[in-house]
Amino acid sequence: MILKLRRLEMRPRAALCVALFSWLYACTSVPLPEGTSLSSYAGLSPSGSTLTKAKLRVDSTPVLAAQTVRIVPTSTQIGSRGFDPKDLALVTNAIDRALCTDLSDRFKVVATSQPADLLIHATVTDIVATNRTAAAGSIVASVGGSVAGLGVPIPRLPIGLGGLAIEAEAVGRDGSQRASMLWSRGANMITTRARVSPVGDAYSLSSAFAADFSRMLVKGQDPFKGMPAIPSMQRLRASLGGNPKYDACKAFGTAPGIPGMVAARFGLPPTWTDKGAAVSQ
């Protein structure tokens, strides 16, 4: 009898887990566009994960032999889409800052005036705008659930989710392409916090792209294969608003740290806590 009761108690929990996994994979479908910024699109192989679409190519030997990298500020190829230039600048700078931090795990990052073994450049090829009204509704529901003391996460509304698409490459000293990636990902209802900003989801997803592209260069292989890497101490320190490992990364400013985490929890626009680039790019 006790065993039957326990089974009955577990059924709602099991159903809840199934629902949560279903919501997790209910995300915005962002195409994987091919822009015009890469020096070559040849040899790209399909890759990615459940949430991420990707095509990539990496020459392992020269990438693993490289010791220094230089980051060219990220550009955009989305044309006139109604986004505030300041919002776009915040997204592209967030990409550069995350790339600089993550690549610092293995490479020495040098200033834009210095030569490097690899030249890194990313280009935003698409941004799916976050619907601010839907995001606001999700935030109210989430905060209300927390106040009510519910023990389960409140998913976002399944509408108005944003997304991001980027292409990037690493070029050697001789101008030859050593690695390249097309990458796209949409926000999902569970792991992407709603923010009342047209670029709220694109801003949040910028760090996911940087992690995937950087891992490809750090490991010299497909970043979607194998176990996820544990963040290094220097990455954790930088994410909390600390100074980056290399001076070259200071050009992209410091992460919002704990104030940024609090702002994200309550759905505030990233412009409220992220000061952007430290110097003019």
What are 74-101's pLDDT values in tens digits?
999 997 678 999 999 999 999 999 999 9
Name the residue type at position 76. T
What whole-number distance in Å separates Cα of residue 73 and Cα of residue 160?
Answer: 29
Q: How far apart are the first and last CA of the chain?
A: 70
What whole-number distance in Å separates Cα of residue 112 and Cα of residue 114?
Answer: 6
What whole-number distance in Å separates Cα of residue 210 and Cα of residue 71?
Answer: 12
What whole-number distance in Å separates Cα of residue 261 and Cα of residue 272?
Answer: 11
Spatial CB neighbours of 275, under 8 Å, sequence gap ≥ 6? 253, 254, 256
To the question of pTM greater than 0.85 for the whole model, the response is yes
Question: Which band of pLDDT confidence, cut at 50, 70 and 90, is reported for residue 131?
Answer: very high
Least Cα distance to 170 among 213, 112, 109 occurs for: 213
| CA distances from residue 106 to 65, 150, 257 in whole angstroms, order as listed | 11, 42, 23
Q: What's the pLDDT score for residue 2?
A: 46
